[in-house]
Amino acid sequence: MTDSTHLAGMTWGWGAVFGLVNLVLGGGAFAAWLKNRPAMQKNKQDAEEKLRDDLITRVQKLEADKAVQDAKLEAERLRHDAQMAIMRHRVNNADACLDALLMLLKTSPDKVAEAVIHIEQMRARQQQEVAIERGAQAGAAIVNVASPPHPLIGE
């Protein structure tokens, strides 16, 4: 006769189950695990919060760095545009001088010496204008380096 509540002559109940679990898990390991579970969950939650805060800080730093790089890129683009405008101006001036010389040569070849003097004066004036433009551009670059615009303020 076998009774399902008996196993090998012992009564099988909740006390036996907890005793067996306690024996298998090395004594108080299960109780220690149950006792420390809230502390482990708090540690895990604290670690996740620290990781989230660190990532938010890194993202904010990257956004600020990007804003600075965007400001530098915009300043470089403006400088490049100014240089290109000076180059276009010089080419247009050279074209105007050449056109003036050709027109004078066609209309009155006997006044070439006089035309050359006028064209040389025009070229000297144009070179002074280009020098002034370059000086203004260099001054703007120095001011920009001395006090770069703040990316968050927009000054």
Per-residue pLDDT at 102: 82
Residue 23 vs residue 130, higher pLDDT: 130
**Which percentage of the chain shows pLDDT scores above 70?**
73
DSSP 82-121: HHHHHHHHHHHHHHHHHHHHHHHHHH-GGGHHHHHHHHHH
Residue 137 vs residue 148, higher pLDDT: 137
What is the tens place of the pLDDT at every residue in 34-82? 778 888 888 889 999 999 999 999 999 999 999 999 988 998 898 888 8
pLDDT for residue 97 is more than 70: yes
- 4-13, 44-53, 91-100: the lowest-pLDDT one: 4-13
**Which percentage of the chain shows pLDDT scores above 90?**
17
Per-residue pLDDT at 147: 62
pLDDT for residue 6 is more than 70: no
With a CB cutoff of 8 Å and minimum separation 6, the contacts of 105 are 112, 115
Does the pTM exceed 0.75? no
The alpha carbons of the chain give a radius of gyration, in whole angstroms, of 43
Residue 67 vs residue 7, higher pLDDT: 67
**Are the C-beta atoms of 132 and 89 separated by less than 8 Å?**
no
3-state secondary structure at position 27: coil
**Residue 26, phi-psi category: left (phi > 0), alpha (psi -120 to 50), beta (remainder):** left
How far is residue 97's CA from residue 28's CA, in Å, rounded to a whole number?
101
Average pLDDT over every residue of 141-145: 67
Per-residue pLDDT at 1: 43
